[in-house]
Amino acid sequence: MNDSPALVIFDLDGTLVDPAGSITGGIAHALTAHGLPVPDQASLSSMVGPPLVESLARLGSVPAEEVPGVVHTYRRHYVTAGMAESRPYPGVPELLARLRARGLRLAVATQKPQTLAERLLEVHGLDACFDSVHGAPDDETQPPAADGKAGMVRAALEENRAAAGSSVMVGDRRYDAAGAEANSVPCIGVRWGFAPAGELEALALVALVEDADELESAVIAVLAGAVAEAAPC
Active site residues: 11, 13
Specify the length of the chain in residues. Answer: 233
CB-based burial label for 35 (10 Å; 0-12, 13-18, 19+): exposed
User: Residue 8: which residues within 8 A CB-CB, separation 6 or more?
Assistant: 99, 104, 105, 106, 107, 167, 168, 170, 219, 223
Query: CA-CA distance, 103 to 210, in Å (whole number)?
Result: 24
118: Cα within 13 Å, side-chain hemisphere: 10
Query: CA-CA distance, 95 to 35, in Å (whole number)?
Result: 43
Other beta carbons within 10 Å of 166:
21
Query: CA-CA distance, 188 to 227, in Å (whole number)?
Result: 11
Angle of helix 52-59 relative to helix 67-77, nearest 10 degrees, comes to 130
Q: Are 22 and 28 in contact (CB under 8 A)?
A: no
Q: Dihedral through CA 183, CA 185, CA 186, CA 190, nearest 10?
A: -80
Q: Are 160 and 132 in contact (CB under 8 A)?
A: yes
Proportion of the chain in helix, strand, coil states, percent, rounded to 5: 45, 15, 40
